[in-house]
Amino acid sequence: MSLFRIDKSLLLMKMNYFFGIGGFSPYMPFLTTIARQRGYSAFVVGFMNMLQPIPGLVARPIIGALTDRYKCRRAVFITSIVLIFSLMCMLWVIPGKTSDIELNDLDVIKSPLFWWFSGTISLINALAMVKTVLEDTICVNLLGDQKNEYGKQRLWGSVGWSFFAIVSGVCVDWYSEGQHLKNYDPAFFISLLCFAIDMILVIQENDNTVMNSNVSKIFAEGKVIAFLLWVIMFGFFMSFVWNFVFWYLEDLSDQYHPETKSQMKTLQGLSLIVQCFAGEVPSFFLSNYVLKRVNQMTVFSLMFLMFTVGFSTYSFVRNPLWTLPIEIINGASFGMTFSAGISYATMLAPIGAEGFFQSMFSTAMYGVGAPVGSLTGGFMFKNLGSINSFRLLGLIAFVMFVSQTTVNYILNRLNGNEDTKDTYTVVAIEENAEKVTISA
């Protein structure tokens, strides 16, 4: 009976994740193939994906700190959704949607049309980063002492992501039937519809007490520095899943199975369905159970090992259909590790600095790791090809698995089981008490 009980206080949060994250899936997973259809090479696509997170890299920590300080999360949250909707309309009407040949890299980068296209995506990405920080912080605050339940809320984002991805993929294939190139108009329409619904579902933030927290002391901790490094590498590897798996699928189709080309968008949408429903959703749902029994850094170790298996397997597969089981590994890696990262960042954050620490986690992943991975991936795919690139990635992931496991063991021996959150929360309380005494 309890399995079907709905917590009404969290219902809007679940719906926000469903439509708010689902709104990005009709176009974001397909951006590399959209760019490829515009005549951009793998290097240009990697360069473009590297540029995308830069505005968000600046905005994220600033917005996190300001909303913690001035308690304006709801206003910023609503504004970000409205601006995303407006920019999506602009992205839809940008000209130059198709090209039969691959254009010269230098000519593309000199083109104002490229910067209009790339700049619009970068602004959408920055606003998406801000929106993600705010909704995750709000969700964690709503959960109170049950922060390990975060995964059960966030899984609805994965459900929305996969659902709208497959719907838009099928619609694009249907709408493009008989055409040489794909027409993505249905995808943009579905995306705009999701964001319009999400505007209606924005939630009211609780008025939690904000305390002055000494954040700088925590950044001197070795385990915090190590955590941010592992998050950067997490973003690095995920950027290949987000940006280059679809490129790889099209390479397999072109070289080995041309009969799959007419249904490629449906197949790509299906890969997201498998990734989300067979990987992400179970991982998010079980994250509460797992994180009560397994250290967050152990989850990161397993993530690097799973990437080793997944990327290495990509390098041996030749039929696009046989890549679908690998998406289970990708989904499980993301769902469990993202939950562990949110949980660990919350544990590290002093009271009143939750938004800032969530923004640092997101900045390390999306603002540093993902863009570096995108640029590296563009270079690798252009010069090594997709299959050899994934073979090399499998080796890099294994090196990270060994390194992270070793460093984690050493830090545990040095630090013991000290609770960072409790330590610095006490410091923050004492500092606030001193200020009250002085004022009195």
Residue 6 in any domain: the answer is no
Residue 189 in any domain: the answer is yes
Residue 344 in any domain: the answer is yes
Q: How far apart are CA 397 and CA 308, in angstroms?
A: 5
**How much is the pLDDT for 57?**
74
**How much is the pLDDT for 429?**
36
Most confident of the ranges 77-81, 139-143, 246-250: 246-250
pLDDT for 88 beyond 70: yes
Q: How far apart are CA 63 and CA 367, in angstroms?
A: 14
pLDDT for 206 beyond 60: no
Segments forming the whole domain that contains residue 89: 12-439
- Count of domains for the chain: 1
Q: How far apart are CA 323 and CA 317, in angstroms?
A: 7
Q: How confident is the model at residue 5 (pLDDT cuts 50, 70, 90)?
A: low
pLDDT for 221 beyond 60: yes
Residue 120 in any domain: the answer is yes
pLDDT for 424 beyond 50: no
**How much is the pLDDT for 416?**
61
Q: How far apart are CA 168 and CA 323, in angstroms?
A: 20
**How much is the pLDDT for 330?**
93
Q: How far apart are CA 34 and CA 42, in angstroms?
A: 12
Q: What is the pTM of this model?
A: 0.76
Residue 332 in any domain: the answer is yes
Q: pLDDT (tens digit, 9 = 90+) per residue, 359-403?
A: 788 888 988 898 899 889 989 998 999 999 999 999 999 999 999
Residue 226 in any domain: the answer is yes
Looking up tokens 């951006």 gives: 31
Q: pLDDT (tens digit, 9 = 90+) per residue, 43-55?
A: 898 888 888 877 8
Contact 297, 179 (CB under 8 A): no
Q: Within 10 A of 105 (CB to CB), how many other CB atoms are there?
A: 15
Tell me what percent of the residues of the chain surpass a pLDDT of 90. Answer: 34
Q: How far is CA 369 from the centre of its chain?
A: 11
Residue 24 in any domain: the answer is yes
**How much is the pLDDT for 291?**
87
**How much is the pLDDT for 116?**
93
Task: Give the domain CATH number at 37.
Answer: 1.20.1250.20
Residue 1 in any domain: the answer is no
Q: pLDDT (tens digit, 9 = 90+) per residue, 287-329?
A: 888 888 888 999 999 999 999 999 999 999 999 999 999 999 9
**How much is the pLDDT for 74?**
76
State the average pLDDT over residues 189-216.
Answer: 68
**How much is the pLDDT for 431?**
43
